[in-house]
Amino acid sequence: MSAIDRKDYCPRYSYEDSPQSISYGATISAPHMHGYALEHLENYLRPNMTALDIGSGSGYLTACMAEMVGSGGKVVGVDHIPELVDLSIDNMKKQHSDWLESGRVKFIVGDGRLGCPEEGPYDCIHVGAAAGKKPTALIEQLKAPGRLFTPVGTYSQYIMVYDKKEDGTVEEKRVMGVMYVPLTDADKQLGRDY
């Protein structure tokens, strides 16, 4: 995280340990949550690995993941708000336009609940918004071994870690209680669902 300047992705209160608005009904998550996520995914963000960041928003965490997988790796960021995908691309261009040119990072507009099977399978998947229930579509897109780190739940939410083992079996672990925005429809997030 110290290799990626958060100010490029969060111009106001850049170094506060709290979520900040990035417009379009979205926030950049607090640095301590990004830290927890990267620590849990560390062994699946080794050089040359492939990762998926769902709800990529500002692009900050995607950039941290790209730093970790190195020039031989690939990180795909997916967000359902086109303006946020444009914002994340502009943010990354401030210091790392080469990552976009080389394909080390791709930002894609899409419904993250479906994952991004066309770019997978992935060594790890991070989700930055809460799934209502166990996200089986995402687990399917993991390599074996592979790890998914995601908030799950509606009123009470937990960070869940799903580990796909080499034999294809999946183990799940409840890590901690959290409060995330939901993975939702774009119109709902933008207040257009009237």
Ligand X SMILES: C[S@@+](CC[C@H](N)C(=O)[O-])C[C@H]1O[C@@H](n2cnc3c(N)ncnc32)[C@H](O)[C@@H]1O
> Per-residue string for binding with ligand X, 92-131, x by CB under 6 A?
-------------------xxx--------------xx--
* Near ligand X by CB under 6 A: residue from 6, 8, 26, 164: 26
Classify burial at 180, counting beta carbons within 10 Å of its beta carbon; exposed 0-12, middle 13-18, buried 19 or more: buried
Instruction: Considering only the stretches 67-75, 142-150, 163-171, 176-184, report the one whose residues sit in contact with ligand X under the rule CB under 6 A.
Output: 176-184
Shortest distance, position 124 Cβ to ligand X, whole Å? 14
Closer Cβ to ligand X, 49 or 130, answer by number: 130
**Least spacing, CB of residue 189 vs ligand X, in Å:** 6
C-alpha–C-alpha distance, residues 115 and 70, integer Å = 22
Residue 84 makes contact with ligand X by CB under 6 A: yes
Based on the shown chain and the rule CB under 6 A, indicate whether residue 184 belongs to the binding site for ligand X: yes
Contact 111, 56 (CB under 8 A): no
Q: Which two tokens stand for residue 55?
A: 């709800």
Cα torsion 150, 98, 2, 15 to 10°: value is -80
| Distance from C-alpha of 147 to C-alpha of 163, rounded to nearest angstrom | 5
Of residues 44, 49, 13, 45, the one with CA closest to residue 31 = 13
Considering the candidates 29, 56, 58, 88, report the single residue annotated as catalytic.
29
List 81, 125, 139, 152, residue binding ligand X (CB under 6 A): 81
CB-based contact 127:182 (threshold 8 Å):
no
Residue 55 contacts ligand X per CB under 6 A: yes
Instruction: Decide if residue 27 touches ligand X (CB under 6 A).
Output: yes
**Stretch near ligand X under the rule CB under 6 A, chosen from 92-100, 117-125, 151-159, 181-189:** 181-189
Per-position b or e across 73-106, b if 16+ CB within 10 A of its CB: bbbbbbbbbeebbebbbebbeeebeebbeeebbb
Angle (CA) 176-128-139 rounded to 5° is: 80
149 makes contact with ligand X (CB under 6 A)? no
- Catalytic annotation on 156? no
Binding site for ligand X (CB under 6 A): 26-29, 54-58, 60-61, 78-81, 84, 111-113, 128-129, 181, 183-184, 189
- Annotated catalytic residues are 29
